[in-house]
Structure 1
């Protein structure tokens, strides 16, 4: 499906990544169209496509300096997209406000090619629990991430959680967790977002 013809809420393929359990070949990535304007679409992976910690250790961290951000804009970006696809991925200026409930610092604004949604964005673009639920790919499941009996999983947001060493998450059930998970947890799914020129 051409990106120029996608509607909000539809699925489209763009890029490729390791999806099968054996991780020997890459397969097309499926994305949900969250938003669009005359020039671009905002995409979120349909599934949890990997299992990563937000940041190792137990020190204070914000999105700007997190290992998760470095991985998304480095290894994942390099692996998942061809040179032609990279030309279409726009640099997004992301605001990183403080956690309103717990007043933990969100940090500086960032410029990202690939990013995680914020608390505000996930509530806006995915307004109900069902729309926020996701399942892991076989590749991700093989990494022993936390899953519910129905195979839904936690996934990271970029916003801070209850402490400066926590990051906000989405629960199995699709509930938004402002408390979040310990940033060093390695059993939470990655669900990247990108903005692509059409």
Structure 2
């Protein structure tokens, strides 16, 4: 029975109005409303789970895409304040022999600065290659090493932004220790080797001409020397190596280089243009 709050008389259960005074009774929540509430809660729960799942999947991707976007943006490379004698990082090349950790930054020595450009040479011997693939009279103009430096080396070492900062310059055909040996013609290159004259100009002593190899280049050099049963000098035992110059050697088929001791060399067995020795790229960078 339902007791009317107004007239206090009893009414049958389920009555909506008092049959005596017409007062409307308050209605109890129905099971339908309870079911609706449960449905709403369930829907909200599903939506929350969906939001969490989508967040786990897509939020990391958003950051990943942002990182990729940042990698594609042009680098801000400011070398205007560099001075002669400074060391700078520019480009990257495999140097520690562990390809799983990526390439290492290339360290360069600033040799000269003029007209908004700096002239640099790699601080270390970056590779171990032939001056030319065949044992024949050859000049810098036509050698295989020149082609490799201005194609493969550039492509693998520099971003598009960095490469745009490397100008093409006239590389003079300087003579070597024997003036009668033809040095060829001047060339137009981005990357090249020092000539004998430039090596003396920028490195005033034999000690300054001495250069160490990178870890992986030293491994290649050691393997090559052992395969040919060549002895190691005391300087080579300490990690120094021979490095090629672009000037012709003592004869047309000979390769001129700086020995691990810092002396000029290239007149002896195993020192033809097709021998393997260290590579120290040189180039100008627009700053």
Q: Please give the TM-score of this superposition, normalised by the length of structure 2.
A: 0.66
1:163 counterpart = 2:240: no
**1:1-198, aligned counterparts within 5 Å?**
2-24=78-100, 25-145=102-222, 148-177=236-265, 179=267, 181-186=271-276, 188-198=277-287
Distance of 2:97 and 2:168 partners within structure 1: 31
Cα-to-partner distance string for 1:94-135 (whole Å, 9 max, x where unaligned) = 111333535211001000000000001110011111111111
Query: How far did residue 60 of structure 1 move?
Result: 1.0
Q: Which runs of 5+ in 1 are unaligned?
A: none
Q: What is residue 39 of structure 2 aligned with on the other side?
A: none
Q: Please give the TM-score of this superposition, normalised by the length of structure 1.
A: 0.94
Distance of 1:64 and 1:55 partners within structure 2: 11
Query: How far did residue 26 of structure 1 move?
Result: 0.7
Distance of 1:11 and 1:189 partners within structure 2: 20
SS at match of 1:142: helix
CA contact 2:244–2:278 (8 Å) conserved in 1: yes
Cα-to-partner distance string for 1:75-104 (whole Å, 9 max, x where unaligned) = 001000000001100111011133353521
Greater fraction of residues in strand:
1
Aligned length: 197
Distance of 1:10 and 1:178 partners within structure 2: 30
Greater fraction of residues in helix:
2
**Structure 1 residue runs of 4+, over 3 Å off?**
none
Q: Which one has more relative contact order, counting CA pairs under 8 Å at least 6 apart?
A: 1
CA contact 2:266–2:272 (8 Å) conserved in 1: no
Distance 1:114 1:69, change over 3 A: same
Distance 1:131 1:50, change over 3 A: same
Q: Which runs of 5+ in 2 are unaligned?
A: 1-76, 226-231
Query: How far did residue 151 of structure 1 move?
Result: 1.2
Which shows bigger deviation, 128-137 or 41-50? 128-137
Distance of 2:261 and 2:134 partners within structure 1: 27
The structure having more radius of gyration, on CA atoms, is 2
Distance of 2:103 and 2:143 partners within structure 1: 26
* C-alpha RMSD of matched pairs (Å): 1.6
Distance of 1:173 and 1:162 partners within structure 2: 19
Cα-to-partner distance string for 1:121-172 (whole Å, 9 max, x where unaligned) = 1100111111111111012112135661111100000000011111210011
CA contact 2:84–2:111 (8 Å) conserved in 1: yes
